[in-house]
């Protein structure tokens, strides 16, 4: 069942760093689940419209201690890694991949296992307010299709990638594509199958071309995937300059940065999202901007495996699109709230510096401090821009993706009259227990007690 109108106070961030608040607005939704109009409290026609929807029994009304936020957009998450949250995060990335992650991902040859894990993950993401997710699945066709099917059924907007790992020495023998030719052919087949499945999915379902990262793919595969991206005008995702190790490996192999290499293979475009990018240069940033390719910033994961902090503000100043990702399971939580907090904290430490052996004046070197307004933008509008979809804002023309957040657990909430303080309190204190309902494309996809 799709809602037609919802009345409540909401926050939205159409511009980086700015947040708009509207008190008890009436949001009208068309039959496709898109916001058709928003009537503000003092506007003419507001009372009449309210009376109309109430009379028709078609109005969802929030209580005074509830607020609406846009549904969040997770632009980097490895669905198969859900069962190992928090495991071996003290190991280096390549060791974590080889000893823990690849053996786990190999298990998705078993469709039943995939079904159980993916069902739980999609439900959990919805419970945390995430209405859209850009997923890495595994190399397995059936299990990747199963993830797409579960997103479709649960009402989440899924962008799903069947992963390509064809390099004969860059991957373990037990977990890699049978051959380069098959990996390419399977990707094309996957695109067609997901597009067919998507025809009946109101919230949208999208195939994503997914070379895992340069070290796990041959040049032949990377070039062919770039051609498929152009042929099908498809989303693309990969990892890029995550840590020093990956950065060095690709520099040695290609004689250029992985930004330059991936762009030269045709994998950069307006629907491409590259995870991490902590080590990109200003020259690389220009390539991102030129292609309107986005960075998926994964601040929690970066603490563990990147050993670095993304200079968010510096890259924004250079015109790079940035969104937010949980990077499960290099990130230990499905919550973009927690990632927003970490994004703010990491940016402060990068800017102000933490090396107390240096004089204070010499500590901070990078212009990178962001606040909660900016982090909120990254989790919402930034995600919509990264994916080139009309999502992430509460505004006419955008998909009606909403989360209803309760403040009833915070008895002191009433002391705030400043709207920005209310938002920040909300973003710092909300967990899934406080998310009472979630709507995607105007449909109820989660309630707290279901
Ligand atoms: N590079 C990666 N980085 C990460 O954080 N998680 C992964 O699964 C992965 N694969 C390549």
**Two tokens at 201?**
């999915």
Question: What average pLDDT does range 383-392 have in this prediction?
Answer: 98
Q: Which residue has better confidence, 281 or 409?
A: 281
What is the pLDDT, as a whole number, of residue 191? 98
Question: From ligand 1's centre to the CA of 78, what distance in Å?
Answer: 8
Ligand 1 atom having least distance to the Cα of 305: 5
Ligand 1 atom having least distance to the Cα of 215: 11
Question: From ligand 1's centre to the CA of 275, what distance in Å?
Answer: 9
Q: With beta carbons less than 8 A apart as the criterion, state whether 264 and 296 touch.
A: no
Question: From ligand 1's centre to the CA of 19, what distance in Å?
Answer: 33
Question: From ligand 1's centre to the CA of 251, what distance in Å?
Answer: 18
State ipTM: 0.97
What is the pLDDT, as a whole number, of residue 443? 98
Would you say the CB of residue 304 lies under 6 angstroms from ligand 1? no
What is the pLDDT, as a whole number, of residue 1? 84
Would you say the CB of residue 302 lies under 6 angstroms from ligand 1? no
Q: Is the per-residue pLDDT at 450 higher than 70?
A: no
pLDDT in tens, 79-101: 999 999 999 999 999 999 999 99
Ligand 1 atom having least distance to the Cα of 136: 8
Would you say the CB of residue 101 lies under 6 angstroms from ligand 1? yes
The mean pLDDT of the chain is: 95
Residue nearest to atom 2 of ligand 1 (CA): 239
pLDDT in tens, 168-200: 999 999 999 999 999 999 999 999 999 999 999
Provide, rounded to the nearest whole percent, the portion of the chain with pLDDT above 90: 90
What is the pLDDT, as a whole number, of residue 315? 95
**CB under 8 Å to 87, separation ≥6 — which residues?**
100, 329
Ligand 1 atom having least distance to the Cα of 306: 5
What is the pLDDT, as a whole number, of residue 105? 98
Ligand 1 atom having least distance to the Cα of 213: 11
Question: pLDDT confidence of 448, banded at 50, 70, 90?
Answer: very high
Q: Which residue has better confidence, 140 or 245?
A: 140
pLDDT in tens, 210-224: 999 999 999 999 999
Ligand 1 atom having least distance to the Cα of 242: 3
Q: Is the per-residue pLDDT at 364 higher than 80?
A: no
**Pairing, β 235-240 against β 443-447:** unpaired
What is the pLDDT, as a whole number, of residue 365? 63
Give the chain as a 3 state SS string: CECCEEEEEEEECCCCCCCEEEEEEEEEECCCCEEEEEECCCCCCHHHHHHHHHHCCCEEECCCCEEEEECEEEEEEEHHHHHHCCCCCCCCHHHHHHHHHHHHHHHHHCHHHHHHHHHHHHHHHHHCCEEEEEEECCCCHHHHHHHHHHHHHHCCEEEEEEEECCCCCCCCCCCCCCCHHHHHHHHHHHHHHHHHHHCCCCCCEEEEEEECCHHHCCHHHHHHHHHHHHHHCCEEEEEECCCHHHHHHHHHHHCCCHHHHHHHCCCCCCCEEEEECCCCCHHHHHHHHHHCCEEEECHHHHHHHHCCCCCHHHHHHCCCEEEECCCECCECCCCHHHHHHHHHHHHHHHHHCCCCCCCHHHHCCCCCCCCHHHHHHHHCHHHHHHHCCCCCCCCCCCECCEEEEECCCCHHHHHCCCHHHHHHHHHHHCCHHHEEEEEECCEEEEECCC
Question: What average pLDDT does range 309-338 have in this prediction?
Answer: 97
Q: Is the per-residue pLDDT at 362 higher than 80?
A: no
pLDDT in tens, 255-270: 999 999 999 999 999 9
pLDDT-wise least confident of 57-66, 244-253, 358-367, 378-387:
358-367
**Two tokens at 371?**
């606040």
Ligand 1 atom having least distance to the Cα of 239: 1
Would you say the CB of residue 327 lies under 6 angstroms from ligand 1? yes
Residue that the structure tokens 């399971």 belong to:
329
- Ligand 1: which of 80, 94, 97, 248 to mutate, judged by most atoms within 8 Å of the beta carbon? 97
Q: In 3D, which of 345, 337, 343 has the Cα closest to residue 434?
A: 337
Residues in the chain, total: 450
Would you say the CB of residue 166 lies under 6 angstroms from ligand 1? no
What is the pLDDT, as a whole number, of residue 411? 67
Question: pLDDT confidence of 414, banded at 50, 70, 90?
Answer: low
Judge if the upstream peptide bond of residue 329 is cis by omega within 30 degrees of 0. Answer: yes
Q: With beta carbons less than 8 A apart as the criterion, state whether 258 and 280 touch.
A: no
Q: Is the per-residue pLDDT at 142 higher than 80?
A: yes
pLDDT in tens, 294-322: 999 999 999 999 988 999 999 999 999 99
Question: From ligand 1's centre to the CA of 239, what distance in Å?
Answer: 7
Would you say the CB of residue 138 lies under 6 angstroms from ligand 1? no
What is the pLDDT, as a whole number, of residue 329? 98
Q: Is the per-residue pLDDT at 233 higher than 70?
A: yes
Residue nearest to atom 6 of ligand 1 (CA): 330
What is the pLDDT, as a whole number, of residue 416? 67
Residue that the structure tokens 């799709």 belong to:
2
């Amino acid at each position: 069942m799709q809602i037609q109108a919802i009345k409540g106070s909401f926050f939205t961030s159409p511009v980086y760093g700015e947040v708009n608040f509207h008190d008890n607005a009436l949001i009208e939704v068309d039959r496709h689940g898109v916001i058709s109009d928003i009537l503000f409290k003092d506007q003419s026609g507001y009372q009449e419209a309210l009376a109309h929807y109430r009379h028709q029994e078609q109005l969802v009304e929030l209580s005074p201690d509830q607020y609406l936020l846009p549904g969040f957009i997770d632009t980097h998450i490895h669905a198969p890694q859900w069962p190992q949250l928090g495991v071996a995060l003290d190991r280096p990335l390549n060791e974590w991949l080889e000893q823990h992650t690849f053996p786990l991902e190999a298990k998705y040859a078993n469709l039943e296992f995939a079904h159980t894990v993916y069902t739980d993950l999609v439900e959990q993401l919805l419970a945390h307010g995430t209405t859209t997710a850009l997923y890495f699945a595994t190399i397995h066709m059936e299990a990747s299709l199963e993830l797409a099917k579960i997103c479709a059924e649960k009402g989440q907007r899924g962008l799903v990638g069947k992963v390509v790992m064809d390099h004969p020495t860059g991957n373990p023998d037990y977990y890699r594509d049978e051959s380069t030719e098959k990996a390419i052919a399977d990707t094309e087949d996957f695109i067609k199958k997901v597009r067919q499945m998507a025809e009946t999915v109101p919230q949208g379902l999208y195939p994503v071309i997914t070379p895992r990262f340069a070290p796990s793919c041959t040049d032949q595969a990377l070039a062919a995937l770039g051609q498929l991206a152009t042929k099908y005008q498809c989303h693309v995702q990969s990892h890029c300059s995550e840590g020093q190790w990956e950065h060095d490996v690709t520099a040695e192999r290609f004689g250029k940065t992985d930004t330059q290499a991936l762009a030269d293979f045709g994998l950069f475009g307006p629907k491409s999202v590259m995870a991490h990018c902590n080590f990109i240069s200003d020259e690389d940033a220009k390539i991102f901007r030129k292609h309107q390719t986005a960075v998926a910033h994964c601040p929690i994961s970066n603490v563990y495996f990147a050993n670095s902090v993304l200079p968010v503000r510096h890259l924004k100043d250079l015109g790079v699109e940035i969104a937010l990702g949980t990077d499960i399971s290099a990130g230990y939580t499905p919550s973009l709230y927690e990632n927003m907090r970490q994004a703010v904290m990491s940016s402060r430490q990068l800017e102000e510096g933490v090396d107390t052996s240096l004089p204070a004046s010499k500590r901070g070197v990078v212009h990178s401090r962001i606040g909660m307004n900016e982090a909120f933008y990254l989790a919402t509008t930034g995600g919509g821009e990264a994916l080139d979809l009309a999502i992430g804002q509460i505004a006419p023309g955008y998909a009606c993706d909403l989360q209803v957040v309760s403040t009833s657990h915070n008895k002191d909430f009433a002391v705030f009259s400043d709207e920005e303080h209310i938002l920040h309190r909300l973003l710092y204190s909300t967990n899934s227990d406080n998310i009472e309902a979630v709507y995607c494309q105007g449909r109820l996809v989660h309630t707290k007690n279901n």
